[in-house]
Amino acid sequence: MAAPNIIEFQGAGFTYPSGREAFSGIDLAIEKGGAFALIGSNGAGKTTLLKHINGLLYPSHGRVLFDGKEVNKKTAPGVRDRVGFVFQNPDDQLFLPTVAQDVAFGPMNHGLDRAEVEKRVKRALEVVDMEGYEGVHPGKLSGGEKKRVCIAGVLALEPEVLVFDEPTGGLDPRGTRDTIRFINKLREERGITVVIASHDVNVIPLLVERVAVLHKGRLLFDGSVRDAFGDRGLLSKASMVPPDVTRLALEMGCCPGKGLPLTMNEALRYFQKGG
């Protein structure tokens, strides 16, 4: 039996106060415990769409449901308690004088007592390998470290759903690898539902099984990551390219359909078998 849907978009659309349309007619369902990525070029409407999940924005038409209930002004605070949102730019999130205080910000807002907050801060920093940085000023951290503190700050809320806006944007290869590892670990160990918006096509197959392709506010595709990246017509329509290894395989005219490699490991296995 399929897991129940935790997030549902029903004919949702959003128009900015200026009259510019961000997206419209979006129908999407994300199941509990799943990993889902929204991909598309810059300005496709990914971030705006993500912000509807926890009621940072409300749809101009249609509905957004969280756990079966409509997200609106009344329900949004409750939804925000259950959905963690990691923003693209860590500097938007970090604003307190020490790492520990910043990670504690969310739990404090939940009105938890001091002992519980401290426990959660410790645990969250452990998950992202940032123990020992409690008293450091976030301004003194590197980009990758800031990102990890941001993830910890959201993990401390013990959310059921984690939303990442460009999780690997601006990170070096090591930071990218670490972030992928944390996200996958959280899914496996805690069964957290993961929703990602990204245009980093090389990273997406390492994180999710299902993608939706957004282009100029319209949903072009919703299905498996392999089907999306194997379809060059779809990708060029969305101004995107397949992952590097997939592109290489496609250019060489081999491994059509199910065998198409999406990650470096898949490609290695494929070529070691002798193509």
Q: Which residues bind other proteins (CB under 8 A)?
A: 17, 51, 54, 56, 77, 80-81, 83-85, 87, 89, 91-97, 105-106, 108-111, 139, 153-154, 157
- Residue 108 CB, shortest distance to other proteins, in Å, is 4
Determine whether 74 is exposed, middle or buried from the number of CB atoms within 10 Å of its CB (0-12, 13-18, 19+): exposed
Q: Residue 231's closest CA among 252, 254, 256?
A: 256
CB 109, CB 84: distance < 8 Å: no
DSSP, residue by residue, 53-98: TTTSS--SEEEEEETTEE-STTTHHHHHHHEEEE-SSHHHH--SSS
Q: Who contacts 260 (Cβ-Cβ below 8 Å, separation ≥6)?
A: 226, 229, 230, 246, 249, 250
**Residue 47 to residues 55, 109, 195, 232, Cα–Cα distance (Å):** 13, 24, 11, 24
In this complex, which beta carbon is closest to other proteins, that of residue 43 or of residue 77? 77
Beta-strand relationship, 35-39 and 210-215: parallel
In this complex, which beta carbon is closest to other proteins, that of residue 108 or of residue 234? 108
In this complex, which beta carbon is closest to other proteins, that of residue 15 or of residue 263? 15
**Backbone phi, then psi, for 218, in 5-degree steps?**
-120, 145
In this complex, which beta carbon is closest to other proteins, that of residue 79 or of residue 238? 79
CB 246, CB 254: distance < 8 Å: no
Please tell me the distance from the alpha carbon of residue 112 to that of residue 200, in angstroms, as a whole number: 37
In this complex, which beta carbon is closest to other proteins, that of residue 110 or of residue 247? 110
- Residue 264 CB, shortest distance to other proteins, in Å, is 33
- Residue 105 CB, shortest distance to other proteins, in Å, is 6
- Residue 85 CB, shortest distance to other proteins, in Å, is 4
In this complex, which beta carbon is closest to other proteins, that of residue 82 or of residue 216? 82
- Residue 237 CB, shortest distance to other proteins, in Å, is 31
- Residue 87 CB, shortest distance to other proteins, in Å, is 5
- Residue 165 CB, shortest distance to other proteins, in Å, is 10
In this complex, which beta carbon is closest to other proteins, that of residue 17 or of residue 68? 17
CB 157, CB 110: distance < 8 Å: yes
CA 218 to chain centre: 19
Please tell me the distance from the alpha carbon of residue 249 to that of residue 275, in angstroms, as a whole number: 10
